[in-house]
Structure 1
C-alpha cells in the first residue's frame, strides 16, 4: 500500500480582529518536541516557517492508512493552535487572509533572494496551500503518474476551495489562492513528459534560465524523497476535507500507476486546456460548471465529482477508503466547501473578522464525525512508514 503524507500551511491570526500576525518565528521557538504543552502530548509533527511570518506549516509523517493520517492532521492542527494561544494568537486554516494584510517576509538567504527577484509577486504572496506526497517506486513511475493525473487535478481545486476573500474584499473566486499562486513563473499544469529523462531535462532547462531553481508545477517529483507531490489544493477549513483530498490523491496516483503498468497512454490534452479547467475550478469551486476531466467540456460539479470518484473507485476499495470518500464527497457537494462557509459567515453581520473567528473554530474541530474512518482495515495504523517527516521540497 502506498504511503502518503501532507503539508498544511496555516495563517497565524489575532483572534479578535482577525488580522494576520507575524509570529511564525516565535511559534517555532516555542516548539519543543521534548516538552508537553497544555493538554497536547509531545508532538511528532515537524513545524516549518514559510515565505511569510504570518504563516506556519505543519508536516505529517508518511502513513499507510487514511485513519492514521487523518488523526495526525487533527493532532497537528491542535498542537499548532496550542503554540499560537501561548502568544495570544490562533491558527486558522484559511488559504488567503479575509482581511487586508501586509506580509512580513521570513529572513534567510533563500527567501531574501526570492523577494529580490520576484518583487511584488513575492511580497504579496500570503497564501496557504495543502500539499500531498504519495510514494512511488521510481522516477519513471513517478513521471508516468504525473502524465496521467493531469486532467484530474482541477477537481481537487474545486473540492478544496477555501479562499474567496483577498485584501478585504470578496474576490468572486472560490479559490483566489489559485489565481495568486499562478503568478509564479512555473506554476500551473504541465504537458505530458513521457519519461523521467524528459522531466529532468525540462527542470534543468528551467534552471538554466536563471529564473527558478525548483519549478512550482501543479504536481512534481519530490527532490528529497521517493514521492510525487500534488500541490493544487487550498488548505482545507475542515480537517475532514483534508482527509478526503489526501485519499483522492493517493487513489489517483495508484490508478495512474496501474494504467502505466497496463500500457494505457496518458490523455494528451494540452496544458493550455488544463489551465482553463483550473480557472473554472478556482472561480466556481463546487457551485458552478467545471471542465469534465475526460471530455474537457463544461459539466456540473456533481458530474465532475462523480467522474473523479468513478475513476479511482477500485483503488479506494483496495485501500479501504471507499466509504469515507463517498460520504465526504456527498457532504461537500451538499454543504459546500470552505469558500461557501466563509461567505456565509461574512453575510451574517458583514464583518470579515467573523470569517476568521469561524475559521479558528473549525480548523481543528473535535466534534466532527469521523466514524466512516473506523474501518477494521485501517485501525491501529498510527505507526508511520517511509521517509522522515521532512517532506517539504517546495521552492516557495
Structure 2
C-alpha cells in the first residue's frame, strides 16, 4: 500500500493560504540534490497540486504499518523543512481554516478546468488522503470496488479533519466532503459486476464531454489508471500521521476482505447510490460525534457501533497482516481524543491565527501528538 497526502501551505504570521508551492518544490529539489534522504532513495515524491498553496506527497509502496508511518513522517518532514526555507508552514488539514485564495497552478489542464468549472475550481482548496492498495488486475480491482463501497463513509468519519473554511465553523466534521461533491464525477459508484461494465461506465462519463479526461473521475474509490491498485479516495488528509496510518490499514484490510469475498463467490452488498450519498453526507456532517448510516442495514446506528462493525468485518484481514492490535488501539484513541476536526475546533476557538497555525503545524510534523 502507498499513500498520497495533499498538504496546505500557509503564511506563518497570518495563517492564510500561501501561494508558494513552486518555491517549496524548488527548495525541496535543492535539498534532495545536496542531501538525499532515505525516503527519496527508496521512492516516493513531493509534487504540485491543483492550487498554488498546495503540495502533494506520495510514499513508496509499504508492506508494514511501521514502514508506512516512517515514510509518511519522512515526507512530511521534507515538506516542512522546504516550506520553512521559503517562509511557509505546512498544515495537514482538509480545508483552509482561515480565509484566502491563491489561484490554481497555471498548466494547460488546470487552465481548462478553471475555464469550464468556474467557482467550483476557484474554491476547491481541499486536501485529501488517497490510499493505493495492490490488486492483481482490473478484474480483482472492480470486484473490490463493488464490495468496499458501502464502507467508505466510515473511512471519511474516521479521517474527518475539515471543520473550518475561510474562518467559518461549517458545523461539519468534514466540509471537504461537501466541497468535493461539487465536482460532477465525485461520490459513490454503482455495482459494476465486471471490468467491461466498469469501462463502459467510465467511457459513458467521458462521452458526455463534461469531464476533461479520465483523471477527473473523482469517485470515492477507483481502479487506478497508472498503477495496479485500487485507489481509496474518501478520506480527508489527517492532521495526525497516526490517523493516516489507521486509514491506510483499514483500506488495505477492506480491499483484502473484498478480494476474499469475491474469490469465495459471496454476494455483493446492494446499497443504492442515493443511500450511499446520504451515508457519506452523514459521515461528513458528524464524523464520530453522532450516528452513522450502518453499511449493512442502511439505518442509523451510533458511530462506535458502525466502526466496531467495520473492525469485525475486516478482522481476518487485520490478523493476516498483523495489524489487529494497532488498528484497535488507533480506533480507541480516536474515540477518546477525537478526530482532527475535534482538535481543530478546540484550537481555533478564541485563539489568534498565528498561535493556531503554529500548533497545527507542530501536530502535522509530529512535533506534538
TM-score by length of 1: 0.89
- Separation (CA, whole Å) in 2 of partners of 1:177 and 1:118: 17
- Separation (CA, whole Å) in 1 of partners of 2:353 and 2:314: 38
- Separation (CA, whole Å) in 2 of partners of 1:367 and 1:49: 26
Partner residue in 1 for 2:81: 82
Match of 1:250 among 252, 270, 293: 252
Partner SS state of residue 78, structure 1: helix
Shift of 1:141: 0.5
- Separation (CA, whole Å) in 2 of partners of 1:54 and 1:332: 29
- Separation (CA, whole Å) in 2 of partners of 1:109 and 1:223: 21
1:274 matched to 2:276: yes
Match of 1:237 among 239, 258, 262: 239
1:21 matched to 2:23: no
Shift of 1:166: 1.0
Partner residue in 2 for 1:36: 35
Retained in 1: the 8 A contact 2:6–2:129?
yes
Q: Which has the higher helix share?
A: 2
Retained in 2: the 8 A contact 1:161–1:282?
yes
Partner residue in 2 for 1:289: 291
Cα distance, 1:352–1:287 mapped onto 2, change above 3 Å? farther
Q: Deviations over 1:173-219 (max 9, x none)?
A: 00000000110001000110110100001111111111112211110
Shift of 1:167: 1.7
The aligned length equals 362
Partner residue in 2 for 1:363: 364
Q: Deviations over 1:270-312 (max 9, x none)?
A: 0100000000000001101110111111011100110011111
Shift of 1:332: 0.2
- Separation (CA, whole Å) in 1 of partners of 2:62 and 2:223: 19
Shift of 1:133: 0.3
- Separation (CA, whole Å) in 2 of partners of 1:248 and 1:182: 23
Over aligned residue pairs, what C-alpha RMSD do you find?
Answer: 1.3
- Separation (CA, whole Å) in 2 of partners of 1:323 and 1:203: 39
Partner residue in 1 for 2:93: 94
Retained in 1: the 8 A contact 2:11–2:87?
yes
Shift of 1:363: 0.4
Shift of 1:319: 0.2
Partner SS state of residue 83, structure 1: helix
- Separation (CA, whole Å) in 2 of partners of 1:200 and 1:351: 50
Partner SS state of residue 90, structure 2: strand
Partner residue in 2 for 1:327: 329
Retained in 2: the 8 A contact 1:98–1:356?
no
Match of 1:6 among 3, 6, 10: 3
Retained in 1: the 8 A contact 2:57–2:75?
yes
Shift of 1:132: 0.2
Shift of 1:14: 1.3
Structure 1 residue runs without a partner (length 5+): 369-396
Partner residue in 1 for 2:195: 196
Shift of 1:67: 1.1
- Separation (CA, whole Å) in 2 of partners of 1:64 and 1:354: 37
Shift of 1:352: 4.4
Aligned positions of 1:376-395 closer than 5 A: none
Shift of 1:356: 2.4
Partner residue in 2 for 1:154: 153
- Separation (CA, whole Å) in 1 of partners of 2:34 and 2:254: 38
Partner SS state of residue 202, structure 2: helix
Partner SS state of residue 133, structure 1: strand
Shift of 1:77: 0.4
Partner residue in 2 for 1:346: 348
Retained in 1: the 8 A contact 2:28–2:78?
no
Partner SS state of residue 71, structure 1: helix
Partner residue in 1 for 2:309: 307
Aligned positions of 1:166-185 closer than 5 A: 166-185=165-184
TM-score by length of 2: 0.96
- Separation (CA, whole Å) in 2 of partners of 1:80 and 1:150: 32
Between 1 and 2, higher relative CO (CA 8 Å, sep ≥ 6) is seen in 1
Cα distance, 1:31–1:151 mapped onto 2, change above 3 Å? same
Shift of 1:357: 2.3
Retained in 1: the 8 A contact 2:146–2:193?
yes
